[in-house]
Structure formats: structure tokens, C-alpha cells
Structure 1
Amino acid sequence: MLITSYNPTELGDTLIAVLRPDTASQKVETHATVTRISDEKTDQTLGYNFFNVSETLGQLDVNGQVHLTADQVDQLNNLLKTNDFDPELEQDTDPKFVVGYVASAEAHPKSDHLQVTKTEVGADKPLQIVSGSPNMQADILVVVAKVGAMMPDGLIIWPGELRGVESDGMIVSGRELQLPNAPQHPGALILPADYQPVGAAFDFKRAQTLFTD
């Protein structure tokens, strides 16, 4: 997993790279312009902060998530090697926002408002996703934020559980995707039946006209 973001207004010329979810106890190690954050117990890397990153990648005309090219990942790995860190970054090209088909939606055993869905996302096996959307039901097309997705507000989707039931992903609303004129109340974005094939990367550009005033 490799999720990167760049927010020069808030953080200056710093690229944040996230590889794993945060843990309770962490270790921080800095060599020159690179900081490694790791799990204190397992020593697994949780992420890196690359300071003065424009000196390595050039100017990044981005404010938010950065989708790195293979060459950019190589440049960052070379920087890690130069600073005595393992060159462990791997480019992640798997689309994280995809069209999903809700094959089933059943009541959560420990909640009166949550539903446990089996949601198809293409060739992968169906995902079990717990949803609190009031309009959730079977036999609809939706937008799924898969594990590793970064939402427009910066939230990263990790595997989790809701009231004891595992949930691998999130069925999202137009509001959560920050689409123009999306309803500002809870409810999954239900796509037209022929909008895009199941498993296809969600077309954010096309979605700008999904809602009208």
C-alpha cells in the first residue's frame, strides 16, 4: 500500500507517504530530509515524511492526494537508500474508487440501522461492507471506496469493523465525494443501472454533472 499526499499550505514542501494504519506505539527516526515512522513493536514502516521533496521530484502542482508515477517512486526509493532507509516503496496503480454492485444487504446482528452488504467490485471476490446509509438495499450500483482509498477530506479507508462485524471498504455518498450539488444528508450515491461496468474506476470527471440544482 502506498498513499501519498502534499499540502504545501499547511505542511510546506513535505510529501506524506502512508504505508500502513497508525499503531498505538510508534517510533520516529529522521535522516537528513526523510523521517520514517514505524510500529515500535514490529518495526514495520507505517509511513514516511519527505521534507523539501521538490528537490527530488520537482514542483508538485497538487494540493491533496498525489498519484505518483513509477519514475517518481524510483526517485523516492533512491532518496531512501541515500539516507540509509530501505527502498521499500511500491507503486500502487489499483483504482481505489470503483463502481460496485450490492448483491445483498442484510440487517446487522447488533444494530437496528446498520446493514451488512456483499458488494461486487469486479474480478475480486465480493467485499463485505457494513453500511449505515438509510437508502441501502440489494440490487443497486454504488461507488465503493476500497481499502487504501483517500477520501476528499483526507480520511484513509482501512479494514475495520462496526459493532463486531468486519468491513472492508466504504460505500460512499455524493456528499462524501464532494460532488457538485450532491444532497447534504446521509445516503449512498446510487448510480444509474447502466452508468459504468461493475469494477470500473469511478469516473470523477463524468460525475461532476450527476447532480443538478
Structure 2
Amino acid sequence: MLISSLNAAAFADTLILLVAPDTANPQATEQAGDVVRIYDTVTAQPLGFNIFHVSQYLPELTGNGQVFLTETQVERLNQLLTQVGFTAELAADLSPKFVIGYVKSAEAHPDSDHLQVTQVEVDHEQTLQIVCGAPNVAQGQKVVVAKIGAMMPNGQIIWPGALRGVTSDGMISAARELALPNAPKQHGILVMPADIPAGTPFDFDQAAAVVAAQNADKASI
């Protein structure tokens, strides 16, 4: 897994790389040149890297928030790690992190009166179990799934987890969680048009148009 992000306002010219979720073990850092390695002190496994002066190594890289590195860019970063004395530990992750999902089933959570345990088909015919608390989630819907490794617009990262003892591998997203313009304030997921195939990479512009259409329909009632 490789989650990459830029935040020029907070960390000028620094690429932040995450390769694993935080652990309960103590963490430590070590720096060599323009690279800081963050690791678990018990397992010695890397959790992430900070690349300072990243424009010197990837001058073409732009953006704010989550960025997606090509295989060539990851190889150049691995060369940098090797040059400063670290192991080349980065692997490119080119799979889309926001996709259209099809809710195959939605059942009551065994230990909650408001959560539902859903089975959601995403890309590559994969089915994810996702615990969802939205009141409007239902079987048969097309929804927006933030998969493991997605970074939400507010900076939240989606990791494997569990809600009240039930595994949840992703998040079914609301329009406001996706920071879409004029997103409804009420609690509820964004339901996408039924004709969009499951697994389609999520299009933020298309979703904004869906929200606008839904708002227009409500206003006309």
C-alpha cells in the first residue's frame, strides 16, 4: 500500500508517504539526507516516509491532498531511498481508491440498532464488507465507496477497521464527506444513478451534477 499526499500550506515542498496504518507500538524516526523514515520500533516495519525538497526529485509532481504516483515516480523515489542508505521499500499502487459500488446486501448489525453490515461489489468483481450507519443505505443501490487507502477531502485516511466487532473494509460515502458542492446537510449516503457499472472509478464532477439534480428534484416537490 502506498498513500501519497502534498500539503503545501503545512509542509512546503514535502511529499508525505504512508505505507501502513499506525500501530499501538512505539514509533521512531530516522533521517538520511532529504528522507525521514517512520517505523514501528517493535517490528522495525516502515509506516511512512517524508521526502523533503521533493521538487528536486519529482519536479513534475503537483497537487494538494492525495496524489497518485506512477510506477516511474515510485522507482525514482526508491532510488533516492537507496542513495541515502535506506531499503527501497515503496511499491506503486495504481488502483482507484474511490469507485462506484453495488450494495448486494444490507443486514442489521448484531450489536447495534442503527448500523448495517453491507456487502458491496466494487472493481475487479471484489466484494467488500462495509459497516454503514447511514439511514438511507439499502440493498440494490449504487453508491460511492472509499476503499482502503483512500484519503478523504478532510484528510481522513481509510484503513481496515471494525465497528462494534464487525470487520469493515472501506466506507460508503456521503456527498458532504466527498466535499461536493451543495451537499445535503442531513445524514445519509450519496446514491448514484443505477446505470453506472460497479467498479467504475468515481468521477467527482459527475457526482456534483448528480447532487445538483437531486437538489433540484427536492426543490420542485
**Normalized against structure 2, the TM-score is what?**
0.92
**1:49/1:122 Cα in 2 relative to 1: closer, same or farther (>3 Å)?**
closer
Gaps of 5+ in 2: 216-221
Deviations 1:107-157 (A, max 9, x none): 111110100001111434311100000101111110111111111111110
| 1:205 shift after superposition | 2.5
Contact 1:175 1:185 in 2 (8 A): no
Q: Name the structure 2 match of 1:16.
A: 16
Residue 163 (structure 2) aligns with: 162
Q: Corresponding residue for 2:115? A: 114
Matching of residue 50 in structure 1 with residue 38 in structure 2: no
Matching residue's letter, 2:204: F
Secondary structure at 2:104's aligned position in 1? strand
Distance 1:176 1:32 in 2: 37
Q: Percent same amino acid among aligned pairs?
A: 56
The aligned counterpart of 2:219 is none
> Residues 120-159 of structure 1 correspond to what in structure 2 (within 5 A)?
120-159=121-160
Matched residue type, 1:121: V
Distance of aligned partners of 1:117 and 1:49 in 2 relative to their CA distance in 1, 3 Å threshold: same
Gap regions ≥5 residues in structure 1: none
The whole-number CA distance in structure 2 between the counterparts of 1:12 and 1:202 is 29
Q: Separation in 2 of the partners of 1:209 and 1:114?
A: 29
Which residue number in structure 2 is paired with residue 65 of structure 1?
66
What is the count of residue pairs matched by the alignment? Answer: 212
Partner of 2:199: 199
Distance across 2 between alignment mates of 1:121 and 1:45: 29
Deviation readout 1:45-86 (Å, 9 max, x if unpaired): 100000111111115331211111222111111110011111
Kept after mapping to 2: 8 A contact 1:5/1:16: yes
Equivalent AA in structure 2 for residue 5 of structure 1: S
Secondary structure of 1:99's match? strand
CA RMSD of aligned residues (A): 1.2
Distance 1:206 1:112 in 2: 34
Match of 1:98, SS?
Answer: strand
Q: Distance in 2 between matches of 1:120 and 1:148?
A: 17
1:158 deviates by 0.5
Q: Is the 8 A contact 1:26 1:40 kept in 2?
A: yes
- Letter of the structure 1 residue corresponding to residue 65 of structure 2: G
Query: How far apart in 2 are the matches of 1:18 and 1:76?
Result: 13
Higher helix proportion (structure 1 or 2): 2
